[in-house]
Structure 1
């Protein structure tokens, strides 16, 4: 069970150097868009990413490029971390030339990445030893929400940490939910992603069934979106799957990573998750068949490889060749 623990700074913590300077570590689809909204809100952004193109985009928007995370954090009051997974978070925080070595004492580290709650709690304790506050602050809303500044921030941490990061979180979001201590937010985000991934997999499966049965896929999407079977992920993905619009908004690999976190969490709590396990199998097939970085809309194509389902065939050409009943 997650305890709402607060993580105090060290006794000699000093006020940050400049409360309008934010270090943004990770400038991909999500981090880059969040950095852009911070700039629009009047913050100075010092950014770092391993991708030179992402760094160039930040510079074109008016941000400053830093050669490493420590340089980005120097003189900032907040460090926003938006990288892919827990090992990367640890590296950019505590590795050579990491954020923790350079962010002024009293500064706050907002970890927006989706990582296991236990890892987030560990990082918060280690940041406290450096005189730094931590916000467990994963976000929901995807690339479109990041670009529009309408993300939902799920925020956990001490009152001091949440207050220090509030302005930056508001600049990137429409809603900020304060949910308790460090770890609580990561747990809620993992549960959200378990649902989202399962809905994406079911969207692909439902479309494959309808197309194989000879139903007009566009009409199917229209009807479901106005019926009880709809979901936010169906509404965001179904039409794009049918139109074969595979512009990456979220990747197969990201959903697979998130499901792995959710399933590991469930296993540690002895909580059965048969539906999420099945959804993970679909995403794993997708990662193996196409590419982990490919758009999750490509999951519909996976059903072409399953016995009895061929989304490329003419609608109504043949019934499914197998039954779920024994």
Structure 2
């Protein structure tokens, strides 16, 4: 986007001091805490009122609806799961869904909506046009790094949008992340890069699970296999991270199987109009679909290893292992 395509909304007269975060899951809660640590006045909304209230006890304000929160902030950060929830947050009818009250109509002209969800790039580009038409700036800003990095303010953010949006929201992005990539001046580019990242992440998790399953089926002790592979050329970040969950027998969902059913589905959807083949992505998607259909959709994405027959997986340890 540039100034010739859309008239620039009137800028607020002071730097942003109030930030809102919608969605206090594993990522959003850590991001909200990082903003609070950085000195921002932070308001939050989550469908789980108790989670929002707990956050507010240590500083900040919990709001009953996305609309009420939006009316009070200069920068609103959305950390919900998918495009349907983004739509509900921004344009909900107030009937009690994610967006009860509808945030878009309550955001002040010149404020910024920062969209951190993984969505179809075309959806993100269309969303920018809808918001800019009402005077609200927009940043396409998907995130990567996991819950631990969200909590420490060390995320990677893949962003795109207009310079006015960056001017207002830049300090907010910096407080939540170690690296902010500025990929262009129009929405959709950040989401395109995130789609590529999710292709690799999903394929690597599926491959890691397949490799570990083969080793276990072949009689190699799981701990020994993990030790060797994590010090060999075949290692990957996903193998090292996710197979540690398998060794601990801990499938607490830091990122659930169903997230990759969605995200790899988006990968395939993005390639289809280009008639671009993605054979590894398609296979990995089927593996996560099989896991979800087997009742594992709510478990950690490492639970995709459970689709392999004839293997005895490590039992749960007495103390759950935290993600590094």
TM-score, length basis structure 1? 0.89
**What is aligned with 1:147?**
151
**What is aligned with 1:242?**
247
Offset of 1:258 from its aligned partner?
0.4
CA distance 1:18–1:91, shift in 2 (3 Å): farther
Offset of 1:16 from its aligned partner?
6.5
**What is aligned with 1:183?**
188
Q: Which runs of 5+ in 2 are unaligned?
A: 94-100, 315-324
Partner of 2:107, secondary structure, is coil
**What is aligned with 1:105?**
109
**Alignment length, in residue pairs?**
305
Q: Is contact 1:136–1:186 with CA below 8 Å preserved after alignment?
A: yes
Could you give the per-residue CA deviations for residues 248-307 of structure 1, whole angstroms, max 9, x where no partner exists?
211001111100100000111111001110001110111111232211121221113xxx
Q: Is contact 1:200–1:234 with CA below 8 Å preserved after alignment?
A: yes
Q: Is contact 2:249–2:313 with CA below 8 Å preserved after alignment?
A: no
**What is aligned with 1:274?**
279
The answer on 1:196 being equivalent to 2:198 is: no
Structure 1 distance, partners of 2:248, 2:278, is 32
Structure 2 distance, partners of 1:11, 1:157, is 13
Greater CA radius of gyration, 1 or 2?
1
CA distance 1:214–1:42, shift in 2 (3 Å): same
Offset of 1:201 from its aligned partner?
0.7
Could you give the per-residue CA deviations for residues 88-131 of structure 1, whole angstroms, max 9, x where no partner exists?
10111122322211121101110001111100011100100110
**What is aligned with 1:225?**
230
Which residue among 160, 171, 174 is the counterpart of 2:178?
Answer: 174
Offset of 1:57 from its aligned partner?
2.4
Which residue among 287, 300, 305 is the counterpart of 1:300?
Answer: 305
The answer on 1:210 being equivalent to 2:223 is: no
Offset of 1:75 from its aligned partner?
2.6
Partner of 2:76, secondary structure, is strand
The answer on 1:255 being equivalent to 2:260 is: yes
**What is aligned with 2:319?**
none
**What is aligned with 1:312?**
312
User: Over the residues paired in the alignment, what is the CA RMSD in angstroms?
Assistant: 1.8
Partner of 2:157, secondary structure, is strand
Could you give the per-residue CA deviations for residues 205-258 of structure 1, whole angstroms, max 9, x where no partner exists?
001100111112111111111211111111111122122121221100111110
Q: Is contact 1:155–1:162 with CA below 8 Å preserved after alignment?
A: no
Which residue among 16, 21, 36 is the counterpart of 1:19?
Answer: 16
**What is aligned with 1:65?**
62
Structure 1 distance, partners of 2:9, 2:232, is 58
Q: Which runs of 5+ in 1 are unaligned?
A: 305-309, 315-326
CA distance 1:12–1:83, shift in 2 (3 Å): closer
Offset of 1:10 from its aligned partner?
4.7
Q: Is contact 1:16–1:75 with CA below 8 Å preserved after alignment?
A: no
